[in-house]
Amino acid sequence: MSERREGPLEPGEPIIQVRGLQNRFGEHVVHDRLDLDVMPGEILGVVGGSGSGKSVLLRSIVGLLRPSGGEVSMLGEQLDQLSERRRVLLERRCGVLFQQGALFSSLNVTQNVALPLREHLQLPRAEAEHLAEVKLALVGLPPHAGRLAPSELSGGMIKRAALARALALDPDILFLDEPTAGLDPIGAAAFDQLLLTLRNAFGLTVFLVTHDLDTLYTACDRIAVLSGKRVLVADTLSVVAQTDDAWVRDYFHGPRGRSAQLAAHATREA
């Protein structure tokens, strides 16, 4: 991976800053004056009930959805004030992994990962595919996986291939929407470890939408809870879990929350 680029961020400045975000679809208000900071190099887990607006928040930040109001800044640049050229440059610094992986079925895995390199950097095919193979190895896929069609991959392999594509342009920020959904517990745990390895090795910032309590316990530095159209709390897991809120209580202190906590303790002590 390339050297990390120097952004215009001041020390201590959030890498993503969301202020007063509003999102509505017709009469349906999803976000109302939502604020959130994401700090450089952290893995932030974003949780909340179904329909609380986690994916809409992610899409607003990566520029796939134009918010109804408020401001989003990323890497020191305010999204709604960017020229087309600056927007494309900023896009390159973000890798996005969508819920279903979103690989092109007509391309093999290597070609899928090579696509951003060809489109954004205009690399010749052979060079782009060589770099794609490096990325596939980085996410732990065996060499033969590159020649397979997406339909020939297991669920875990699809996630890894999609992660390799999200990493293709050496992003500063990785956005992941439910990366462990549909994986068995062993595959999910391996994915969490991979995420930690990548963050530790490359200093990536990770914005992670998840329902997976194990991921929150093992991989996240901070957790933001979406509730009531806003961020109810964004803090370390121990602070968040003590928040006086019915959803937080059910989620973190219900049976699944307790078993995730026990599993995380056991892993740390092993």
Query: Which residues contribute to the site for ligand ATP (CB under 6 A)?
Result: 25, 30, 48, 50-56
- Least distance to ligand ATP, CB of residue 127, Å: 37
Q: With respect to ligand ATP, which residue has the nearer C-beta, 101 or 146?
A: 101
5 DSSP 8-state letter? P
- Least distance to ligand ATP, CB of residue 3, Å: 34
Q: With respect to ligand ATP, which residue has the nearer C-beta, 55 or 108?
A: 55
Q: With respect to ligand ATP, which residue has the nearer C-beta, 198 or 209?
A: 209
> Across the beta sheet with 16-25, what order do the strands follow?
28-38, 16-25, 69-74, 77-78
- Least distance to ligand ATP, CB of residue 50, Å: 3
Q: With respect to ligand ATP, which residue has the nearer C-beta, 138 or 216?
A: 216
Buried b / exposed e across 157-172, counting CB within 10 Å, b at 16+? Answer: bbbbbbbbbbbbbbbb
- Least distance to ligand ATP, CB of residue 99, Å: 8
Q: How far apart are CA 63 and CA 57, in angstroms?
A: 10
- Least distance to ligand ATP, CB of residue 168, Å: 25
Q: With respect to ligand ATP, which residue has the nearer C-beta, 130 or 211?
A: 211
- Asked if 34 and 21 count as a contact pair (C-beta separation under 8 A), the reply is yes
Closest CA to 134 of 123, 122, 146, 124: 146
Helix, coil or strand: residue 82 = coil
How many CB atoms lie under 10 A from the CB of residue 174? Answer: 23
